[in-house]
Amino acid sequence: MQRPNPNSQVDALLKVVSGKLGIPAETLKQELEAGTFDKALAGMKPQEAAMFQQLLANPQRLNQVMSSKQAKALYEKLTQS
């Protein structure tokens, strides 16, 4: 069985997330690669942006969130063709 191309999955996820934030996918990708989130945060509600920044400031908590069943299920849902 052939495994899905991880790059196409990342591109699909970037497209969905960038659409929700109202920024181009390429801009989001560049910010993620650079470790900056200025434009992404500007597209969020202030309370959501604050929560996101708190999560980024705590690597242990971020790892817990990203390893959760909910995060994995959301990733699967967003990347299904």
Q: Is the pLDDT of residue 47 over 90?
A: yes
Q: Residue 53 has what pLDDT?
A: 87
- Per residue in 64-74, pLDDT (tens digit) is 888 888 888 87
Structure-token pair, residue 58: 């705590």
Q: Calculate mean pLDDT across residues 43-49.
A: 88
Q: Residue 5 has what pLDDT?
A: 58
Q: Is the pLDDT of residue 79 over 70?
A: no
Structure-token pair, residue 30: 């560049």
* Inter-helix orientation angle 6-21/25-34, to 10°: 110
Distances in Å between the Cα of 75 and the Cα atoms of 20, 42, 78, 79 are: 14, 23, 5, 6
Average pLDDT value for the chain: 82
Spatial separation of the C-alpha atoms in residues 14 and 45, rounded to whole Å:
19
